[in-house]
């Protein structure tokens, strides 16, 4: 697979959702990004899209949002596999935003950050988002702030 070295200024939102709440948060982020003027946003469900397609899209875009549920104190397997693929293909030079969902002990942001630490030239957004089961009004405010950060 040949990866593009110059990504398009746009955003891929790759997510792993179990009950749909993480997916709803990602849809809200995609909507907010469009409100901020970002015209090219790909919303990709890691449980439904072929991994090679999502991987290729991640290398075409300048901004990558990774959103995962915490699953047994770790990442949902589809997200873990995706991040391992990103690392194996040498992800670098991207802006990364992280979102996690977990009822009582969300750890996905911490795990994703650790998994990506060897990748070069990644810029992390300041506005990580933690959802506890379902989105709250506070989460919607955080999503708007993340959309603003990603659109600059």
Helix/strand/coil (H/E/C) assignment for every residue in the chain: CCCCCCCEEEEEEEEECCCCHHHHHHHHHHHHHHHCCCCCEEEEECCCCCHHHHHHHHHHEEEEEEEEEEECCEECHHHHHHHHHHHHCCCECCEEEEEEECCCCCCHHHHHHHHHCCCECCEECCCCEEECCCCCHHHHHHHHHHHHHHCC
Q: Are 18 and 69 in contact (CB under 8 A)?
A: yes
Q: Rounded to 5 degrees, what are φ and ψ at 123?
A: -110, 120
Instruction: Work out the average pLDDT over 45-52.
Output: 95
Query: What distance in Å separates the CA atoms of residue 36 and residue 71, rounded to the nearest whole number?
Result: 32
* 14: pLDDT strictly greater than 70: yes
pLDDT for residue 39: 87
Instruction: Work out the average pLDDT over 123-138.
Output: 96
57-74 residue pLDDT tens? 999 999 999 999 999 989
* 36: pLDDT strictly greater than 70: yes
pLDDT for residue 2: 44
pLDDT for residue 120: 95
Percent of the chain scored above 70 by pLDDT? 94
pLDDT for residue 150: 96
Instruction: Place 1 in a pLDDT band, splitting at 50, 70 and 90.
Output: very low
* 139: pLDDT strictly greater than 80: yes
Percent of the chain scored above 90 by pLDDT? 89
Query: What distance in Å separates the CA atoms of residue 152 and residue 49, rounded to the nearest whole number?
Result: 28
Instruction: Place 9 in a pLDDT band, splitting at 50, 70 and 90.
Output: low
Nearest to 77 by CA among 97, 59, 51, 55: 51
Query: Residue 47: CB partners within 8 Å, gap ≥ 6?
Result: 16, 17, 78
């Amino acid at each position: 697979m040949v990866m593009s070295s110059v990504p398009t200024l746009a955003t891929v939102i790759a997510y792993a959702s179990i009950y749909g709440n993480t997916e709803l948060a990602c849809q809200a982020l995609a909507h907010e990004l469009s409100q901020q003027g970002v015209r090219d946003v790909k919303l990709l469900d890691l449980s439904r899209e072929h991994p090679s397609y999502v991987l290729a899209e991640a290398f075409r875009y300048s901004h990558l949002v990774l959103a995962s549920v915490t699953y047994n104190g770790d990442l949902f397997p589809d997200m873990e596999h995706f991040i391992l693929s990103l690392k194996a293909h040498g992800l670098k030079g991207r802006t990364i935003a992280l979102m996690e969902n977990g009822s009582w002990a969300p750890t996905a942001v911490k795990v994703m950050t650790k998994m990506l630490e060897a990748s070069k030239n990644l810029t992390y957004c300041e506005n990580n988002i933690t959802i506890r089961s379902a989105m709250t009004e506070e989460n919607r405010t955080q999503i708007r702030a993340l959309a603003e950060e990603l659109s600059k």
